[in-house]
Amino acid sequence: MLCGCGRSVFGVRSRDAAHGPAHGRCRVHPGQACAAVRSEGVTAALHQHVGGWVETKHEVRAVLGDIGPDLLAFGPDVEHLAWAGVNVPSFLRAYADRIVAVHLKDLFTAGVTCAATDELDYRRATRPGRIWAEPGRGQLDLAGCLAALPDRFDGDLMIEVDVPALRLRESHQTAYDWALAVLPESVRRCASPFLRRHAGQLDSGPQPQARRTITAPERRSR
């Protein structure tokens, strides 16, 4: 559970069977957790993920339907919704009045198809360049996702590329350029000091040194 700025975005742990049957079990009903943080003046928001206990549209609907909007808002990750087969803009419109934060990134649909066809586990499916993509480089309708939000949306927009498909510096620059070109002017105005500072670091900061690879013979000699 991540808390800050009066909001708490939470998701339950992975359902990965490798961690044993107890892994991922909720020891406290989510509604109780929401009520507890609400009593402290914090609004909880559901954040769904592929590989978690809440990943499909039916599971999201079940949780949001079971816990009222007075206790639980919605903080969707658009790429994880798309990976789960959801029509993301339509789904966001259905819950627009409960959305307080959105994670934005893109995805490669070919990687989603490959993961299903080859029955890849989460780690193999999400290796660099397979599914995750910097915004604007994949096939997700991010413009439609943004248009689905209320006209006066005052929540948080977070560009989050779980595993960059590009070199790190290029990945940041691509996301930065996309944000300036696509995000609403009001959002860009609020974020501009950070974006300018970040862009300056990209342009003038030191290049990260490449890691030295130690070969097998070198390891043995040590």
pLDDT in tens, 77-125: 999 999 999 999 999 999 999 999 999 999 999 999 999 999 999 999 9
Q: CA-to-CA distance for 156 and 71, rounded, in angstroms?
A: 18
Q: For the whole model, what pTM was predicted?
A: 0.76
Query: 196 or 135: which carries more pLDDT confidence?
Result: 135
Q: What is the pLDDT of residue 184?
A: 74
The confidence score (pLDDT) of residue 210 equals 37
pLDDT digits (tens, 9 = 90+) for 22-63: 334 555 688 888 999 999 999 899 999 998 889 999 999 999
Cα dist. 79→48, 74, 134 in Å?
10, 15, 11
pLDDT level of residue 126 (50, 70, 90 thresholds): very high
CATH class of 2-105+135-163: alpha beta
| pLDDT > 90? residue 219 | no
Are residues 46 and 17 in contact, defined by beta-carbon separation less than 8 angstroms?
Answer: no
Task: Note the pLDDT of residue 152.
Answer: 85
- 119, 106, 204, 195 alpha-carbon torsion, rounded to 10°: -140
Residues above pLDDT 70, as percent of the chain = 71
Lowest mean pLDDT among 7-16, 52-61, 188-197: 7-16
Residue of higher predicted confidence among 188 and 172: 172
The answer to whether the beta carbons of residues 126 and 149 sit under 8 Å apart is no
Report the C-alpha gap between 186 and 24 in whole angstroms. 39
Mean pLDDT within 196-216: 44
